[in-house]
Amino acid sequence: MLQENELTQPVDLCLPNGRLNPLAIGWSRQPLQNCRLYGHPLRKKRWNYWCITSPTHLFSVTLSDVDYAGLPFVYFLDFATGEFIEKTIITPLGKDIILGDLVPDDAVYEGKGCKISIQKKEAGVRLLVDIADFGGKPLQAEFRINESETHESLNVVVPWSERLFQFTAKNNTLPAEGNVVLDGRTIPFDGDQTFATLDFGRGVWPYKGFWNWASFSTRLPDGRTLGTNFGAGWTDNTGSTENALCIDGRLIKLSEDVIFTYSTQDFKAPWKLRTPVTTKVDLTFTPFFERIAKTDMLIIRSEVHQMIGYFDGIVEGECGEVIEVSHAVGWAEDHHSRW
C-alpha cells in the first residue's frame, strides 16, 4: 500500500522556474492547486473534459490545449439506437481556446462554427454548446450541473520527475439536467440517474504515454450516490494513484493499484477491475459501444479505445461496508499517446 500525502491548504503546482513544486505532491478532497504553468514551451498540456450520462444517452465536451494545437471536441451517443456523432476541431497553438489555472475557472471556445462555454455559477456549472455542423446536423446543448460546496473530489499530482508532472481533478456523481437538441429533435437528460463527471488536467508530460481510465456514477437503491475513478499505467512507480470512491459526496482515497484485465484483440469483451492486495474493488465492466478516436498530426499521435458500458460487482466503502454495483453506466478506456 502506498503512503500518499493529503493536502489541506492551497498550493502552487509549479515553481517560477518551471519545475514541480514539491509541496504540491499529494492529493486533496477539494481543488486546492493553482495550476499556472511556467516555461516548457510546446510541452504543456491543459484540458477540461465533461461527460454527462443518463440511463439512455451520453454527451461529452472537451476543451484541450496541448501548446502546439488546440483540440475542442464533442460527442454524443444514443444507447438504444447506437447513433454516435463526434466533432473534433484542430486549432493552431490553441487559438481561440481560453482555459484557466484553477478547477472552477471558466473555459471557452468560439470559432469554426462552434461555440462552447463552461461557466461556474453559484449553484454549480452551466455548460452550453452550439455547433452548426455536427455530423451534418445543427446541435445545441445546455446543461446545469449541481456542484455543492461540500461535495468532495479527487485532486492528485502525479510526479514523474521535477520537470515532468501532471495535476488531475476528477469529480463525479454531480447531478445534472439539460437537453441536447440535434437537428431540431430534443433529447432530455434528467432524472436521478443523470450525472456529470469532470476530468481536469494540467501538466508537463513525457512525450510518450499510456493509461487506462475507468469511471462511473450511479444512485444506489438506498438513495446514496456512488462514483468511482480508477486508473492504471499512468501513475506507475510515482507513489501516487488516481483511484478513489465517492459515496454521497464523501471521497474515499484508494492508495492501492487497480488492475485492469481486458483483451486488446477484442475491446468489447468483458473487462475485470480489481485491487490486488485488498478486496476493495472487484468489478466486471461489460461494454456495449466502442468509441475509437485516432489523431495523427506527425508530432501529435494518439489512439483511444473508449468503451461505454455497464459495471457490476462490489466495492468496499468505509469501515469495510460492501456495496453492490449493478448495471452502472460508465466507461473504461485504453489510451496510447505521443504528445
Average pLDDT, the chain: 96
Is the confidence at residue 122, as pLDDT, over 90?
Answer: no
The yes-or-no verdict on residue 331 having pLDDT over 90 is yes
How sure is the predictor about 309, in pLDDT bands with cuts at 50, 70 and 90? very high
pLDDT band at 73 (very low <50, low <70, confident <90, very high): very high
Phi, psi of 84 (to 5 degrees): -135, 130
| Inter-residue contact 50 to 60 (CB < 8 Å) | yes
* 23-56 pLDDT per residue, tens: 999 999 999 999 999 999 989 999 999 999 999 9
Percentage, residues of the chain above pLDDT 70 = 99
DSSP assignments along 86-106, one per residue: EEE--EETTTTEE--SSTTS-
Residue 257, beta-bridge partner list: none
Taking the domains of the chain in order of start, what are their residue ranges? 11-338
Q: Tell me if 23 sits within 8 A of 157, measured CB to CB.
A: no
Q: What is the rounded CA–CA span in Å between residue 258 and residue 262?
A: 13
Quote the CATH superfamily of domain 11-338. Answer: AttH-like domain (2.40.370.10)
